[in-house]
A and B are shown apart, each in its own frame.
Chain A
C-alpha cells in the first residue's frame, strides 16, 4: 500500500551503555531517553498526541510492568496511550497507523527492556509452544544453531557452524522515537525520515513446520512495505544470531552495495528494544544525511518467526 499520509521519524534516542543497567528502575533508566527524544522534537512530556510503548512482563519478572514506566512519561493530563507486549518496533507500527487515521499528528514511541533481571536463556523458552516445546527448555541460541546448521546444509553459508554460540551479551536499555505527520514533521526535524511503507508478517510457530533457511514473512513484509520498488542504501537488520543475517539478506535481496547495520550489531541490543533501535538508527542516518533510503527490520519469536520491515526516506 501507499500510505495516505506522510509520516516521519523526527527524533530518536537510546541508552548507549552495554551491559546491565546497574541499580536503576526501568522508569529511572527510561526517563533521560524520553527527555532526549522529546527535546529533539521540541515536545514537552505528555504533549505528543499519542503514546505507544513495547515491553515484556516476562522479561521484567513482573506483571503489568509497563504501568511502572508510565511514571516517566508525564501522563497528566491523561494521554491517549497504548502498549504492545512486543518489541517497540511494533509500538512504532501501531503509532504510525494511528497517525494515518488522522486522529494524531504526533506520537511518542518507546521501549524498554531489562533482560539482566532474569536469565534470557530460561525466560525466552517460555515463548515456545507450551505443550510440546517449552517443557524441554531449549534456549534461543540452540534454536538459532539449528537454523544455522540448516543453512549450512543448504549451502547458503560458506562453512558449517561451530558449536552453539554463547548467549548474546545481556544489555539493558531503552529507546524512544518521535513520529510526526507532514508539516509538523518538517518543523521538528531538518531532514525527516519519511516512512514510505511498513508491514509485518508472522509464520507458523512450530520450527518443524518451517523452512528455516528462508524467511518468507520478511520477504512478504518487505514487498508490502515497498522495499523492492527502489534500491536502499542502508539496512538495519535485527538478527539476534549471526546466521540469521544471511537469511534476512537473501529475503531482502540486499547486495554488497547496501551498508548493513552501520550502527553496530543488533545482537548487542536490549531485548524488546532492538527492533525499535533498528528503526531509530535507520532514521537517524537519514536525519544526518548519511542515507537517502533505508530499510529497517525487526524480528520476534524463535528463528525469525515474525518480521517487520519499514522503508524510510529523506527528502532529496
Chain B
C-alpha cells in the first residue's frame, strides 16, 4: 500500500470589512488618539463601543469619549507570543476598564514579567507610531501611576477623513489529508494509471475513489481499473479566463465516463477544435511533463458512442 499523502494548504485572504457608523467612529478615534465608547439607555458606558445593546438589543449611537488610562480587571501572562499577536516578547493579555467606562477592552500589556502584573493595576494606552484606524492603533497598554483620567464626555464621533472600512488579512496554514482512497488514486496517477474502487454492496465502480460508497454508506476497498478510454457525456465551452489558470480560451470542459466506471469525471478536452467537441465523443487521457493529472483528454478517433450507451451517466 502506498503511504497516505499529506500536503500543506494555505487559506489566505485580505478580508475587507465595512464598519458601520459606531465602529467607524471608534476606530477613526484610535487613529486620532481618542477613545470613544457608547452610552446605553440606562447610562452604562461600553468601551469598546458595540453597535447594539447587549441586554436590550437596542441600537446605540450615543458616543462618549473616555480616558486613555484605566484599570486591569483581569489578566493572563502569555510567555510565548504567537506571530501576529500585539507584542513579539512575553506580555500579559489584559482586560482594561478605561476611566469613564463600565466595561473592559481586551488588549496586551507590556510588562517585564508576570510578577509586575496584578488585577487592579493602573495602565495607560501606548499608541502605535503608525495608526490607520484599527484596534492595533493601540500598540499595547503600559503601567501608569498617574491620576485617574476624566469621566465620559459627550462626543459627536466626527473626525476628518473617517475610516469606513478595514482590511483584515488572515492566513491560516493547514495540512491537507486526502485520505486512504484518494492517496491510492493519486499514487496511481503518478504512474499514469487510473485506479478506481468497486462498492462491495452495489458493485458500482467509483473513479476517483472516495473510500466510501456514497449511496450504500459502506467502505470501498476492492480495486478496479476503469478506462483509460472514455466517452464525453456532456461539456461546456469556457470562454472566460479563470484566475490563475494558464489555459487559452475558448476550451472545452467535459464530463467523461471512463470505460468501466459508473460515473463521470471532469477534465479538459484538447487535440481538437473546441467547436467540434460532441457529446458521445470517445477520448483518452494525455499526460504531459511530470504532471500527476492528465493534462487533458483527446479524441481516440473511434466512432462516437451511442446516446443510449451513456445516457444513464449523464
Judging by beta carbons under 8 Å apart, are B217 and A117 in contact?
A: no
- The reply to whether A208 and B104 form a contact with Cβ atoms under 8 Å apart is yes
Interface string of A41-78 (1 = CB under 8 A from B): 00001100000000000100100000010111111100
Among A22, A46, A121, A209, the one with the most B-chain Cβ atoms within 10 Å of its Cβ is A209
- Give the size category of B's interface with A: 35 or more
Interface residues of A in 66-94 (CB under 8 A from B): 68, 70-76
Question: Do B95 and A153 touch across chains, with their CB atoms under 8 A apart?
Answer: no
- B215 and A76 within 8 A (CB): yes
B83 cross-chain contacts in A, Cβ below 8 A: 137
Is A25 within 8 A of B182, CB to CB?
yes
Interface-side segment among A26-34, A217-225, A254-262: A26-34
A72 touching B212, Cβ below 8 Å:
yes
B134 pairs with A212, CB closer than 8 A: no
How many A residues, CB 8 Å from partner?
58
Q: Is the CB of B119 within 8 A of A137?
A: no
- The answer on a CB contact under 8 Å between A131 and B17 is yes
Interface contact A46-B217, CB-CB below 8 Å: yes
**Residue with the highest number of chain B CB atoms closer than 10 Å, among A31, A61, A75:** A61
Find the residue from A61, A73, A142, A149 having the highest chain B CB count within 10 A: A149
User: Which of B48, B108, B174 is A117 in contact with, Cβ under 8 Å?
Assistant: B174
Residues in A with CB closer than 8 Å to B15 are 130
Residues in A neighbouring B6, C-beta threshold 8 A: 23
B179 touches A25 (CB 8 A): yes
Contact status A121-B82, CB under 8 Å: yes
Q: Would you list which residues of chain B between 85 and 113 have a CB under 8 Å from chain A?
A: 85-86, 93-95, 97, 103-108
For A123, what are the chain B residues with a Cβ–Cβ distance below 8 Å? 172
Whether A122 touches B76, Cβ cut-off 8 Å, given contacts A23-B183, A25-B178, A132-B135, is no
Do A204 and B174 contact each other (CB < 8 Å), given the known contacts A122-B82, A209-B103?
no
Known: A25-B182, A130-B168, A207-B104. 9 other contacts (CB 8 A): A23-B183, A28-B212, A61-B174, A118-B173, A132-B105, A161-B76, A163-B79, A208-B103, A208-B104
Q: List 21 A-B contacts (CB under 8 A).
A: A24-B180, A28-B219, A61-B176, A71-B211, A71-B213, A72-B217, A74-B215, A76-B214, A117-B176, A118-B173, A123-B172, A126-B172, A133-B106, A137-B83, A139-B82, A142-B76, A146-B74, A149-B119, A153-B74, A153-B119, A163-B77
Which of B's residues lie within 8 Å of A, judged by CB? 3-4, 6, 9, 11, 15, 17, 19, 23, 27, 46-48, 50, 54, 73-79, 82-86, 93-95, 97, 103-108, 114, 119, 134-136, 166, 168, 170, 172-183, 210-219
